[in-house]
């Protein structure tokens, strides 16, 4: 599905991302974890051709994302609120996305039924523009829209952040269900190790722009995941003195 080769992104002389090679196969839920600045959003932006790679390239279904735009028909994403159109109501936004993905109204409604508990009666039929919804509800709209039209790849940046605990659990189930029904790949980043270890079949850890771990769920338990980050902290505090002004 996704082939990354020799990819790097450099701003002036800081390399923020460098992945020599990576293959993501179809139908998997893949988790991406890493501290702030590890390069998660950079990687997603490169996948979506929102920024230009300094070297290398990404292929999506054998299509180079920086050369052709045909990957757009089978890929969807929700990265942040810049993927929402604030002055539309959620219904209008959904039907806009559905129209772009050639889904008719009836199919859209059936699709949205799946999300009714997740929406918790706060999204549909409220006669409110998306910009007037709370951050959490905006997120719900964006996530649901990303799945419209059964794309083969769905990219979600921090989908669990800003959601209340109940919605977080519902979202986990939804992602799992949709993954099984539609056989789509879902690429999720999160700061919450628990979510990732529960949800994802394959887990990638980015650190300072480099892929430091790539393992299946069976090979990496929550404890090892946790240990990875605690060790890293220990390592950092041993080798580098704390900066004076914090």
Partner 1 sequence: MLKTLFSLELKSLFRSPTWKQNLWMRILIVFAILYFVLIFLSLGVGAYYIIEEAQIGEPFEVINRYLIYYIGFDIVFRYMMQPMPVTNVQPLLYQNIKKSTIVHFSMLKMLYSFFNWSHLFFLIPLSIILTVEGQAAGQVWGWSLSIYFLLLINNYLNVLVNQKNVVFGLVTSLVLGSASLQYFGIFDITPYTQVFFTSLFNQSWLIAVAFGLLVVIYYSAFRHFRTRMYLDAGLAKKSERTISISENYFSRFGKLGLILRNDVALILRNKRARQAVFAGFFFIFYGLLFFTGAVEAYQGDTWKLFAGIFVTGGFLFSFGQYVPSWDSQYYPLLMTQNITYIDYLKSKYTLIQVFTAITTILSSWYLIFGLEIFSFVLLGAIYNLTINSVIVLWGGAYVRTKIDLTSNKKAFGDKNAFNYKTLLLTLPKILLPVIIYGVFDYALGPIAAKISIVVVSIAGYFLKPYLFKTIISIYQKEKYATLKAYRS
Residues of this chain that bind partner 1 (CB under 8 A) = 48-52, 69, 72-73, 75-77, 79, 82-89, 92, 95-97, 99-101, 127-129, 131-132
- For residue 242, the minimal CB distance to partner 1 (Å) is 27
Task: Specify the residue, 71 or 172, whose C-beta has the smaller distance to partner 1.
Answer: 71
The answer to whether 5 touches 21, Cβ cutoff 8 Å, is yes
- For residue 211, the minimal CB distance to partner 1 (Å) is 23
Task: Specify the residue, 130 or 196, whose C-beta has the smaller distance to partner 1.
Answer: 130
CA distance 171 to 194: 14
Task: Specify the residue, 112 or 196, whose C-beta has the smaller distance to partner 1.
Answer: 112
CA distance 125 to 107: 18
Does residue 158 sit in helix, strand or coil?
coil
- For residue 88, the minimal CB distance to partner 1 (Å) is 6
- For residue 138, the minimal CB distance to partner 1 (Å) is 12
Ordered alpha helix ranges (H), 7-134: 40-47, 90-100, 105-113, 116-119
Q: Is 95 left (phi over 0), alpha (psi -120 to 50) or beta?
A: alpha
- For residue 150, the minimal CB distance to partner 1 (Å) is 13
CA distance 52 to 115: 34
Task: Specify the residue, 83 or 147, whose C-beta has the smaller distance to partner 1.
Answer: 83
Helix (H) or strand (E) holding 168: helix 165-182
CA distance 244 to 180: 51
Task: Specify the residue, 112 or 199, whose C-beta has the smaller distance to partner 1.
Answer: 112
- For residue 102, the minimal CB distance to partner 1 (Å) is 8
CA distance 88 to 101: 18
Task: Specify the residue, 27 or 99, whose C-beta has the smaller distance to partner 1.
Answer: 99
Beta sheet of 63-64, edge-to-edge order: 63-64, 55-60, 2-11, 14-24, 210-216, 202-207, 29-33, 185-189, 153-157, 75-78
Task: Specify the residue, 1 or 48, whose C-beta has the smaller distance to partner 1.
Answer: 48
């Amino acid at each position: 599905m996704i082939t990354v080769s020799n990819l790097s992104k450099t701003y002036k002389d800081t390399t923020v991302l460098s992945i020599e090679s990576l293959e993501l196969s179809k139908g998997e839920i893949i988790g991406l974890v890493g501290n702030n600045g590890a390069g998660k959003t950079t990687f997603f932006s490169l996948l979506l051709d929102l920024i230009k790679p300094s070297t290398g390239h990404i292929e999506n279904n054998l299509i180079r994302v920086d050369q052709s735009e045909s990957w757009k028909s089978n890929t969807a994403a929700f990265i942040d609120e810049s993927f929402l159109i604030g002055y539309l109501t959620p219904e209008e936004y959904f039907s806009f996305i559905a129209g772009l993905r050639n889904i008719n109204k009836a199919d859209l409604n059936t699709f949205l039924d799946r999300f009714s508990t997740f929406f918790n009666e706060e999204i549909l039929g409220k006669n409110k523009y998306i910009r007037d919804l709370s951050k959490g509800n905006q997120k719900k709209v964006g996530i649901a829209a990303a799945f419209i039209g059964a794309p083969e790849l769905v990219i979600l940046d921090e989908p669990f952040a800003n959601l209340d605990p109940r919605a977080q659990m519902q979202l986990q189930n939804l992602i799992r269900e949709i993954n099984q029904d539609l056989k789509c790949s879902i690429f999720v980043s999160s700061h919450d190790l628990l979510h990732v270890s529960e949800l994802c079949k394959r887990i990638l850890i980015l650190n300072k722009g480099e892929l430091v771990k790539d393992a299946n769920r069976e090979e990496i338990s929550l404890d090892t995941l946790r240990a990875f980050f605690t060790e890293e902290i220990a390592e950092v505090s041993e080798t580098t003195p704390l900066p004076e002004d914090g």
